[in-house]
């Protein structure tokens, strides 16, 4: 299928061939008929992409601070690589979609194949959209009008926050698409409306919708106009739908308002406010969040958990339905807002118009007639990218590998590590298709797919690498073992004791049949060159050791997927398992006991990720892991100290190893941080190629996984 992608690095827009997304639980698969280009949001994205480095930094100062913090801990080169990798990832555009349902995911009710729906789907021939972001379109509403539904919901949410009453005087600053929709919605609620914009054409449209207008570019005085419009009392409310870096719209809004007036920001402006303007009138100011309650709540949007109507009357979905109802009865007419129509294949012309100086307003993208391209053709899940390599006589055979997952860590670490180890990159699977296309193009995969089953049935594949979210790891590992594939899974191996038992049985059954395969977890830190130095030094030390690992992990919001026990397993299981494995490796003997001490009171927080873990080993060694989420980002992230036989080793951030009391070792420093990712992948590939033992004994992997699960849920 075709989909519009944009480069954040250059701002270039392309219509790319992308595998059709799969319909997941709680989602609808939608065949698109119309999408609307959001001139404000998408213009900002295009302008950001085309901006130079300095301008990009100036527009996102909070990201600059994050980069500087990372540079202090990880060094210059890894930080630059991370920034470039982020900018290199294509951005799927669009969020105003109209189409018909192709497939209904498990757990969805109220929708059927063939239903016409409006959603926040992308500019793509087929979109997979969570059910709570979709609404059925009444028969009386045209496809073109329904494409404005999401934009209408954004304006409607701003109005709901203003809470206007019949007859109130409301000013709308900025008459772009959302501003003109807001004018119509306010008029439908019986409000008197004053529209402010420097564009004469848009002012004329607002007048046609029943608003009074003022043009500052033609010498009009917005403050004087608002004074007259409000009969000298000050307006009741102001809705700002403008997009500008200036703070002037907010300052003008404050001066226009009566005492206890209301101001709601729907657009994007500067926020340098005058306290006096707000203090003397006791004004209220609020920023509207997109299209209603539920926005950015993963439980609502991703898991489909609706809010009870009795307590949250207007959610995202119910706002979409309200906008469609207004269209159906003629109270909202988007028709006059359409300025251009383009076929999807002409999307580059459409975005050139958005970024240019030619006047435009509502730009619709039209998709091919259903008869021109069958549903089956659109739902093709695999796209060929590069031809298979031509065998070279006498050359060693490269192990063939497929990747499940093409997210940030896979594209920045895992795939480059395997590529440098000398494998044949056959297939990369991703849920939505876009990240798979990016990874496939960048690293030279032969194909990309959204059909994950393909990687477990393709006999040409020697191994599968799993880099998906944690809750899917056990399922994919079991499928790989059943299919007779070698498997490398990014940590953790699984999330529950039950899953671990099933994997243990599956691996044992394969071994009993003489078909044992390599099972490897991406515990890369034991492969770090400085850890290898530590292991070599400690090998000559008799007696037990004391190991202290301090991890300045930093805070992650409670609603992040890694904190979800069902999806990410929490940070102890999802990340601290790395350090359990590292201490197990350096101790060189099994873990005999373990315990966990959580910080009490508000310091511990609701996520339980500020903890101390204690390990005891068979030889009497002890290990302590301080995993803290309450530190400063300017402090080094990872420090390991080992005390043994009157000597100490200290490893700082996998860049510097210092010895104390060692006659033959004082210090080793790397030019850049090396956590062992490439060496870990290379060891696995060597085992595939040469048939040696698995780089980490499976018994250790299962042991560390068991201990991690028990510590995560003591």
Query: pTM value?
Result: 0.87
More confident residue, 74 or 405: 405
Residue 419: predicted pLDDT: 96
Rg over alpha carbons for the chain, rounded to the nearest Å, is 29
What 3-state DSSP class applies to 114? coil
On the CB side of 373, how many CA atoms lie within 13 Å of its CA? Answer: 14
Residues 6+ apart with CB under 8 A from 132: 294, 300, 301, 304, 306, 315, 316, 317
Residue 602: predicted pLDDT: 46
User: How far is 189 from 170, CA to CA, in rounded Å?
Assistant: 11
Phi and psi, residue 428, nearest 5°:
-130, 125
Residues 6+ apart with CB under 8 A from 691: none
Contact yes or no for 689/401 (Cβ under 8 A): no
Lowest-confidence pick of 31-40, 119-128, 143-152: 31-40
Phi and psi, residue 28, nearest 5°:
-115, 140
Tokens found for residue 692: 């040696």
Question: For the residues 257-267, what does the mean pLDDT come to?
Answer: 96
Pairing of strands 463-466, 400-404: parallel
Question: For the residues 58-63, what does the mean pLDDT come to?
Answer: 64
User: How far is 206 from 12, CA to CA, in rounded Å?
Assistant: 33
Residue 122: predicted pLDDT: 96
Alpha-carbon distances of 274 from 97, 148, 240, 246, 596, rounded to whole Å:
40, 35, 17, 14, 51
Question: For the residues 46-51, what does the mean pLDDT come to?
Answer: 66
Domain 524-686+693-712 coded CATH 3.20.20.70:
no
Residue 11: predicted pLDDT: 78
Residues 6+ apart with CB under 8 A from 532: none
Alpha-carbon distances of 88 from 5, 15, 411, 435, 489, rounded to whole Å:
12, 17, 10, 11, 25
Question: For the residues 337-343, what does the mean pLDDT come to?
Answer: 95
Q: Residue 256 — very low, low, confident or very high, per pLDDT cuts 50/70/90?
A: very high
Residue 83: predicted pLDDT: 67
Short-list 106, 137, 125, CA closest to 18: 125
**Given the structure tokens 């009490």, which residue do they identify?**
600
Alpha-carbon distances of 630 from 15, 509, 635, rounded to whole Å:
44, 44, 11
Residue 526: predicted pLDDT: 97
What 3-state DSSP class applies to 97? strand
Residue 674: predicted pLDDT: 94
User: How far is 45 from 595, CA to CA, in rounded Å?
Assistant: 49
Question: For the residues 74-99, what does the mean pLDDT come to?
Answer: 77
**Per-residue pLDDT for 315 more than 60?**
yes
User: How far is 127 from 343, CA to CA, in rounded Å?
Assistant: 17
Q: Residue 329 — very low, low, confident or very high, per pLDDT cuts 50/70/90?
A: very high
Residue 397: predicted pLDDT: 77
Residue 601: predicted pLDDT: 46
- What is the distance between the terminal CA atoms of the chain, rounded to a whole angstrom? 48
Angle at CA 514, nearest 5°, toward 513 and 516? 100
Residues 6+ apart with CB under 8 A from 474: 493, 494, 495, 496, 499, 500, 502, 503
Angle at CA 230, nearest 5°, toward 226 and 236? 95
**Per-residue pLDDT for 406 more than 70?**
yes
Tokens found for residue 507: 């691996």
**Per-residue pLDDT tens for 585-599?**
999 999 999 999 865
Long-range Cβ contact pairs of 293-301 (< 8 A, separation 24 or more): 294/132, 297/559, 298/559, 298/561, 298/564, 300/132, 301/130, 301/132, 301/133
**Per-residue pLDDT for 336 more than 90?**
yes
Contact yes or no for 375/12 (Cβ under 8 A): no
Q: Residue 63 — very low, low, confident or very high, per pLDDT cuts 50/70/90?
A: low
**Per-residue pLDDT for 54 more than 90?**
no
CATH architecture of residue range(s) 382-521: 3-Layer(aba) Sandwich (3.40)
What 3-state DSSP class applies to 499? helix
Question: For the residues 359-381, what does the mean pLDDT come to?
Answer: 79
Judge if the upstream peptide bond of residue 681 is cis by omega within 30 degrees of 0. Answer: no
Give the 3-state DSSP-derived string for 219-231, with helices as H, strands as E and coil as C: CCCHHHHHHHHCC
What 3-state DSSP class applies to 505? helix
Contact yes or no for 13/46 (Cβ under 8 A): yes
Give the 3-state DSSP-derived string for 534-558, with helices as H, strands as E and coil as C: HHHHHCCCCCCCEEEEEEECCCCCC
Contact yes or no for 442/87 (Cβ under 8 A): no
User: How far is 503 from 497, CA to CA, in rounded Å?
Assistant: 10
CATH class of the domain whose range is 2-146+334-375 = alpha beta
Region class of 551: left (phi > 0), else alpha (psi between -120 and 50), else beta: beta
2-146+334-375 and 151-287 in the same fold: no
**Per-residue pLDDT tens for 120-134?**
999 999 999 999 999
Tokens found for residue 416: 């480059």
Please state, rounded to an integer, the average pLDDT across all residues of the chain: 91
Phi and psi, residue 425, nearest 5°:
-85, 105
User: How far is 156 from 138, CA to CA, in rounded Å?
Assistant: 18
Contact yes or no for 569/470 (Cβ under 8 A): yes
What percent of the chain is predicted at pLDDT more than 90? 74
Domain 151-287 coded CATH 3.40.50.300:
no
Tokens found for residue 312: 């949250």
Q: Residue 149 — very low, low, confident or very high, per pLDDT cuts 50/70/90?
A: very high
Tokens found for residue 455: 């990687």
Residue 443: predicted pLDDT: 95
**Per-residue pLDDT tens for 99-126?**
999 999 999 999 999 999 999 999 999 9
User: How far is 558 from 605, CA to CA, in rounded Å?
Assistant: 9
Residue 603: predicted pLDDT: 45
What percent of the chain is predicted at pLDDT more than 70? 90
Residue 685: predicted pLDDT: 97
Question: Of the ranges 67-76, 606-615, 644-653, which is most confident?
Answer: 644-653
Question: For the residues 381-393, what does the mean pLDDT come to?
Answer: 82
**Per-residue pLDDT for 466 more than 60?**
yes
Contact yes or no for 300/307 (Cβ under 8 A): yes
**Given the structure tokens 């899917």, which residue do they identify?**
472
**If you count DSSP H runs as helices and E runs as strands, how many of each does the chain have, helices first?**
26, 31
Boundaries of every domain in the chain = 2-146+334-375, 151-287, 382-521, 524-686+693-712
Phi and psi, residue 544, nearest 5°:
-70, 160
């Amino acid at each position: 299928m075709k989909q519009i992608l944009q480069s954040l690095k250059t701002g270039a827009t392309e219509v790319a061939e992308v595998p059709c997304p799969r319909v997941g639980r709680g989602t609808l698969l939608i065949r698109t008929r119309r999408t609307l280009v959001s001139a404000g949001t998408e213009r900002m994205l295009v302008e950001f992409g085309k901006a130079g480095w300095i301008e990009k930094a100036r527009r996102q100062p909070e990201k600059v601070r994050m980069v500087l913090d990372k540079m202090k801990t990880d060094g210059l080169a890894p930080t630059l690589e991370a920034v470039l990798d982020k900018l290199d990832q294509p951005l799927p555009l669009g969020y105003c979609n109209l189409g018909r349902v192709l497939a209904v995911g498990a757990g969805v009710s109220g929708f059927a194949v063939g239903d016409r729906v409006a959603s926040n789907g992308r500019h793509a021939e087929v979109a997979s959209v969570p059910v709570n972001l979709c609404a059925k379109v009444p028969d009386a509403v045209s496809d073109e009008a329904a494409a404005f539904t999401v934009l209408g919901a954004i304006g409607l949410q701003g109005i709901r926050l203003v809470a206007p009453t019949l007859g109130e005087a409301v000013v709308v600053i900025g008459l772009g698409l959302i501003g003109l929709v807001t004018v119509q919605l306010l008029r439908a609620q019986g409000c008197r409306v004053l529209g402010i914009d420097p564009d004469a054409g848009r002012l004329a449209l607002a007048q046609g919708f029943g608003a009074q207008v003022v043009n500052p570019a033609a010498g009009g005085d917005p403050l004087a106009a608002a004074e007259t419009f409000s009969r000298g009392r000050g307006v009741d409310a102001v809705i700002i739908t403008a997009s500008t870096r200036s703070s002037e719209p907010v300052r003008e809004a404050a001066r226009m308002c009566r005492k206890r007036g209301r101001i709601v920001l729907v657009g994007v402006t500067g926020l340098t406010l005058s306290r006096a303007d707000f203090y003397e009138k006791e004004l209220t100011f609020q920023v509207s969040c997109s299209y209603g309650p539920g926005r950015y709540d993963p439980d609502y949007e991703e898991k489909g958990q609706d809010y009870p109507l009795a307590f949250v009357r207007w959610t995202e979905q119910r706002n979409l339905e309200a906008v469609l109802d207004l269209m159906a009865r003629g109270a909202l007419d988007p028709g006059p807002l359409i300025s251009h129509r383009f076929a999807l294949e002409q999307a580059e012309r459409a975005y050139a118009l958005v970024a240019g100086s030619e006047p435009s307003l509502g730009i619709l993208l039209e998709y091919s007639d259903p008869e021109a391209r069958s549903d089956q053709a659109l739902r093709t899940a695999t796209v060929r990218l590069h031809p298979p390599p031509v065998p070279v006589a006498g050359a060693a055979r490269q192990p063939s590998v497929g990747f499940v997952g093409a997210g940030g860590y896979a594209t920045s670490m895992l795939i480059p590590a395997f590529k440098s180890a000398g494998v044949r990159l056959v297939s990369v699977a991703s849920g939505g298709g876009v990240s798979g296309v990016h990874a496939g193009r960048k690293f030279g995969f032969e194909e990309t797919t959204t059909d994950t089953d393909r990687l477990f049935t393709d006999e040409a594949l020697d191994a599968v690498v799993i880099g998906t979210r944690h809750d899917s790891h056990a399922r994919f590992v079991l499928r790989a073992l059943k299919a007779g594939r070698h498997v490398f899974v990014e940590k953790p191996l699984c999330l529950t004791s039950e899953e671990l038992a099933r994997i243990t049985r599956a691996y044992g059954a394969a071994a009993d049949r003489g078909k044992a395969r390599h099972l490897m977890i991406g515990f890369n830190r034991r492969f770090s060159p400085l850890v290898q130095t530590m292991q070599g030094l400690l090998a000559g030390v008799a007696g037990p050791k004391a190991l202290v690992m301090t991890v300045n992990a930093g805070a992650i919001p409670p609603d992040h997927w890694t904190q979800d026990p069902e999806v990410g397993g929490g940070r102890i299981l999802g990340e601290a398992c790395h350090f359990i494995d590292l201490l197990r490796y350096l101790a060189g003997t099994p873990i005999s006991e373990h315990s966990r001490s959580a910080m009490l009171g508000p310091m511990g927080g609701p996520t339980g990720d500020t903890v101390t873990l204690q390990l005891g080993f068979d030889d009497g060694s002890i290990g302590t892991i301080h995993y803290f989420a309450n530190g400063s980002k300017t402090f080094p992230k990872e420090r390991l100290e080992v005390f043994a036989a009157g000597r100490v080793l200290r490893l700082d951030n996998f860049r510097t190893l210092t010895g104390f009391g060692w006659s033959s070792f004082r210090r080793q420093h790397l030019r850049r941080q090396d956590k062992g990712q490439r060496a870990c992948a290379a060891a696995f590939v060597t085992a595939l190629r040469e048939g040696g033992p698995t780089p980490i004994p499976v018994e250790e992997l299962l042991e560390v996984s068991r201990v991690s699960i028990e510590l995560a849920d003591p």
